[in-house]
Amino acid sequence: MTQVRTRIAPSPTGDDIHIGNLYTALINFAFAKKHKGKFIIRIEDTDRQRIREGAQEKILSSLKSFGILYDEGPDIGGPFAPYRQSDRLPLYKKYALELVEKGAAYYCFCTKERLEALREEQMAMKKTPRYDKHCLHEVKAAKERIAKNEAYVIRLNVLPDKKMSFQDVIRGEISFDSNEVDDQVLLKSDGYPTYHLGVVVDDHLMEISHIIRAEEWISSTPKHVLLYESFGWELPVFAHLPILRNPDRSKLSKRKNPVWASWYLEQGFLPEAVLNYLSLMGWSHPEQKEIFPISEFIKRFDLKDVHPAGPIFDIQKLEWMNGVYIRDVLTTEQLIERLRQFYRNDEEVHALLNDTNSKKLFSLLDLAKSRIKTLREFKDLVASPQKEEHFESEQVASAKALTVLLSGIGSGMWNEDVILKHLKTFSKERGVSMRIAYILLTGKPQGLPLPQFMVYLGKDASLKRLERYV
């Protein structure tokens, strides 16, 4: 077997890489690595209207943040450079013309108006809108019109009444009728290729062996198969992955779900947890394991085992899994490092994380681990309580009493046992629950174990927290 080469072909039209594309990237990456092949990224920026400034860079940096490293791509080059379609324009025209020569494609001069009228007419007759091959027979006149600078596109010439099919690794044989395939535009009037031409030409030229993409492409695969056949090129292996869904089962979309990959990072999800979760979409570990590193996924994954039904992206389970990574998978050292990275712009938290007494920091982290599901939640646990304007007189009284009580502890005696004993005394004598003491000191109804946290804070800082009540 020749070398396995897979690719993802994102278009730079959004804020970032879509989480569904990250999923596709993960599968392509894992499959390539499993077979000691190459994983390539190609930017498909052929829609000049929708193109977004900076999107390409964002997509590439997100991929890197998640550890999906590519062997060839627009910024790192490779043997088939360039890897951005707008840098390959002459190629598409050349191949489009080759198709015209072969009679597999033809020039079309139809105006937008005619196309729209045609579509409306067909819709009115309840027929699927399709181009009517109006320009198919103008081949001879075509060159003259082009010479006169008339705008044109090149369309695929689909022969009618042909039964065709292709093999999909995940779904088996998928058959179709050529009457269902429209004479798609291949080369637009601005000289850019449409997706269909671009993807086929580049996948062939870049020697892509396996096209692993989302299910939404199934219905345009017949066009691609027709193109491969017209060119006389060997067909790659096709595999159409399930589409990730919103909770209402529609295609995962930004209206109903956070979809940009970096959003998850900003929320404090760990890249490896996100990838681990994604690997469980449509696939399961042979031994039913749920927590495993990507290296193991690469070892155990097989395209054939992908379940074709579209799974709902369940952020709740992702949160659980992220929690598992935070408390069980990462070491405390690693967690500190992740937190430092995450809070690098937050002075208060960053200072805390740079505590010179690493033993204290370690014990704080051990306490914090089990109560956070994302890195972001760490701040809620340790940040200074907000200053509040109004306090109940009862709270003020309690705070004063607590201050007196805690002040009585000698600095040398400031340890968990002593503090706990005093807290218990306080709650008993004043008839208030430990919970009140908790809120007075932390400003929050729940969080880290109080005595341990107070030891970490130190006597002065702890008393200072009570000051805001008086």
Rounded-to-integer distance, Cα 109 and Cα 271, Å: 49
Which tokens go with 182?
Answer: 């429209």
**Residue whose CB is less far from RNA, 36 or 304:** 304
Considering only 224-232, 301-309, 338-346, 405-413, which stretch makes contact with RNA by CB under 7 A? 301-309
Q: Indicate the residue type of 187.
A: L
Contacting residues for 30 by C-beta, under 8 A, at least 6 apart: 279, 294, 297, 298, 301
The distance of closest approach from Cβ of residue 407 to RNA in the complex, given in angstroms and rounded to an integer, is 19
Does 72 interact with RNA (rule: CB under 7 A)? no
On whether the CB atoms of residues 140 and 189 are closer than 8 A, the answer is no
Pick the binder of RNA from 34, 133, 134, 171 (CB under 7 A).
171
Q: Which of 34, 93, 251, 254 is catalytic?
A: 254
Name which of residues 326 to 385 contact RNA (CB under 7 A).
Answer: 327, 370-371
Name which of residues 7 to 66 contact RNA (CB under 7 A).
Answer: 9-11, 13, 44, 46-47, 49-50
**Residue 101: exposure state from Cβ atoms within 10 A (0-12, 13-18, ≥19):** exposed
Does 445 interact with RNA (rule: CB under 7 A)? yes
Pick the binder of RNA from 178, 189, 363, 395 (CB under 7 A).
189
Considering only 57-65, 69-77, 224-232, 440-448, which stretch makes contact with RNA by CB under 7 A? 440-448
Q: Where are the beta strands (DSSP E) in 17-127?
A: 38-41, 105-108
Tell me, residue by residue from 203 to 242, as one string, x for binding to RNA by CB under 7 A and - for no binding: ------------xxxxxx---------------------x
Told to judge if 38 belongs to the known catalytic residues of this protein, a careful annotator would answer: no
Does 268 interact with RNA (rule: CB under 7 A)? no
The distance of closest approach from Cβ of residue 144 to RNA in the complex, given in angstroms and rounded to an integer, is 18
Count of residues interacting with RNA (CB under 7 A) = 90
SS3 of residue 2 by DSSP: coil
The distance of closest approach from Cβ of residue 229 to RNA in the complex, given in angstroms and rounded to an integer, is 18
- Closest of 3, 6, 4, 10 to residue 63, by C-alpha: 10
The distance of closest approach from Cβ of residue 200 to RNA in the complex, given in angstroms and rounded to an integer, is 12
Considering only 32-40, 62-70, 96-104, 128-136, which stretch makes contact with RNA by CB under 7 A? 128-136
Instruction: Report CA torsion sign: 19, 20, 23, 28.
Output: negative
- Closest of 243, 202, 236 to residue 221, by C-alpha: 236
The distance of closest approach from Cβ of residue 143 to RNA in the complex, given in angstroms and rounded to an integer, is 18
- Closest of 257, 255, 275 to residue 321, by C-alpha: 275
Instruction: Report CA torsion sign: 413, 414, 416, 417.
Output: positive
- Closest of 228, 192, 106, 119 to residue 155, by C-alpha: 106
**Residue whose CB is less far from RNA, 190 or 234:** 190
**Residue whose CB is less far from RNA, 58 or 188:** 188
Does 307 interact with RNA (rule: CB under 7 A)? yes
Phi/psi at 156 (nearest 5 deg)?
-75, 135
The distance of closest approach from Cβ of residue 171 to RNA in the complex, given in angstroms and rounded to an integer, is 4
Give me the active site residues, please: 254
